[in-house]
Amino acid sequence: MFDNLTQRLGKVLTNLRGQGRLTDDNIKETMREVRMALLEADVALPVVREFIDQVKQKAMGEEVMKSLTPGQTLIKIVNDELIHVMGEANEALDLAAQPPAVILMAGLQGSGKTTSVAKLGRWLLQQGKKKISVVSCDVYRPAAIDQLETLARDVGLDFISSSDDEKPLDIAKRALKETAKGFAEVLIVDTAGRLHVDEEMMGEIKQLHQVLDPVETLFVVDSMTGQDAANTAKAFNDALPLTGVILTKADGDARGGAALSIRQITGKPIKFIGVGEKTDALEAFHPDRIASRILGMGDVLSLVEEVGRKVDQEKATKLAKKLQKGKGFDLEDFKEQMLQMANMGGMSGLLDKLPGMGEIPDHVKNQVNDKEVGRLIAIINSMTPHERAFPAVIKGSRKRRIAAGSGTQVQDVNKLLKQFMQMQKMMKKMKGGGMKKMMRGMAGRFPGGGMPPGGGGFPF
Ligand X SMILES: Nc1nc2c(ncn2[C@@H]2O[C@H](COP(=O)(O)OP(=O)(O)OP(=O)(O)O)[C@@H](O)[C@H]2O)c(=O)[nH]1
Q: How far is the CB of 190 from Mg ion (least distance, A)?
A: 6
User: Which amino acid, residue 4?
Assistant: N
**248 binds ligand X per the rule CB under 6 A:** yes
Distance of CA 248 to the CA centre of its chain: 16
Cβ–Cβ < 8 Å for 95, 188: no
30 in a labelled binding site? no
Site for ligand X in 173-202 (CB under 6 A): 193
Per the CB < 8 A criterion, the answer to whether 85 and 251 are in contact is no
Cβ closest to Mg ion, residue 143 vs residue 393:
143
288 burial via Cβ count (<10 Å: 0-12, 13-18, 19+)? middle
- State which residue, 51 or 272, has the beta carbon closest to ligand X: 272
Any binding-site annotation on 21?
no
Which of 277, 23, 304, 18 minimizes the C-alpha distance to 154?
277
* Binders of ligand X in range 52-71 (CB under 6 A): none
CA distance 407 to 376: 11
Beta strands in 140-243, from DSSP E residues, in sequence order: 158-160, 186-190, 216-222
Whether residue 282 is annotated as binding a ligand: the answer is: no
Which residues are within 8 A (CB) of 447 and not within 5 positions of it... i.e. 6 or more apart? 359, 360, 364
- Measure CA 370 to chain center: 27
Nearer residue to ligand X within complex by CB, 139 or 215? 139
* Binding partner of residue 430 among Mg ion, ligand X, none, CB cut-off 5 to 8 Å per kind: none
Contact 53, 81 (CB under 8 A): no
Cβ contact 158:191 at 8 Å: no
Residue 23 annotated as binding site: no
Q: Which does 276 bind (CB under 5 to 8 A by kind): ligand X, Mg ion, none?
A: ligand X
The C-alpha angle 74, 77, 82, rounded to 5 degrees, equals 130
Q: Taking the complex as a whole, how short is the minimal distance between the CB of residue 23 and ligand X, in angstroms?
A: 43
How far apart (Å, rounded) are the C-alpha atoms in residues 183 and 216? 19
Listed residue (106, 134, 137) closest to 119, CA to CA? 134
Q: Does 191 bind Mg ion (CB under 5 A)?
A: no
Q: For residue 297, give the nearest of 92, 69, 6 by alpha carbon.
A: 6
By the rule CB under 5 A, 136 interacts with Mg ion: no
The verdict on whether residue 191 carries a ligand-binding annotation is yes
How far apart CA 91 and CA 81 sit, in angstroms, is 18
Whichever of 13 and 233 has its CB closer to ligand X, that residue is 233
Contacting ligand X (CB under 6 A), which of 114, 225, 237, 337? 114
112 sits near ligand X (criterion: CB under 6 A): yes
CB of 38 to ligand X, least distance (A): 23
23 exposed, middle or buried (CB, 10 Å; 0-12, 13-18, 19+)? exposed
C-beta of 248 vs 264, nearer to ligand X: 248
57 is in an annotated binding site: no
Q: How far is the CB of 163 from Mg ion (least distance, A)?
A: 16
Residue 292 contacts ligand X per CB under 6 A: no
User: Which strands form 158-160's sheet, in the order they lie side by side?
Assistant: 158-160, 132-136, 186-190, 101-106, 216-222, 244-248, 270-274, 282-284
How many residues sit in the footprint of ligand X (CB under 6 A)?
21
Q: Least distance to ligand X from the beta carbon of 80, Å?
A: 28
Show the site string, 263-282: x = touches ligand X by CB under 6 A, - = not: -----------xxxx---x-
Q: Does 114 belong to an annotated binding site?
A: yes
Residue with smaller CB distance to Mg ion, 14 or 147:
147
Contacts of Mg ion in 83-122 (CB under 5 A): 113-114
Nearer CB in complex with Mg ion: 102/105: 105
Q: How far is the CB of 247 from ligand X (least distance, A)?
A: 8
The reply, when asked if residue 449 is annotated as ligand binding, is no
* Given 18, 46, 61, 110, the residue binding ligand X (CB under 6 A): 110
Instruction: Give the residue with the Cβ less far from ligand X, 113 or 436.
Output: 113
Instruction: Give which of Mg ion, ligand X, none residue 232 binds (C-beta under 5 to 8 Å, depending on kind).
Output: none
Q: Is 128 annotated as a binding residue?
A: no
Query: Does residue 110 have a known ligand-binding role?
Result: yes
Question: Which of 125, 137, 139 is CA-nearest to residue 184?
Answer: 125
CA atoms within 13 A on the CB side of 175: 35
| Residue 120 vs 294, nearer CB to ligand X | 120
Helices (H), ranges, 213-299? 227-239, 257-266, 287-294
Q: How far is the CB of 142 from ligand X (least distance, A)?
A: 10
335 is in an annotated binding site: no
Residues 295-354 that bind ligand X (CB under 6 A): none
Q: How far apart are CA 425 and CA 163, in angstroms?
A: 75
- Where is the binding site, in residues? 107-114, 190-194, 248-251
- Where is the binding site for GTP, in residues? 107-114, 190-194, 248-251
Binding site for Mg ion (CB under 5 A): 113-114
Binding site for ligand X (CB under 6 A): 107, 109-115, 138, 141, 144, 193, 248-249, 251-252, 274-277, 281
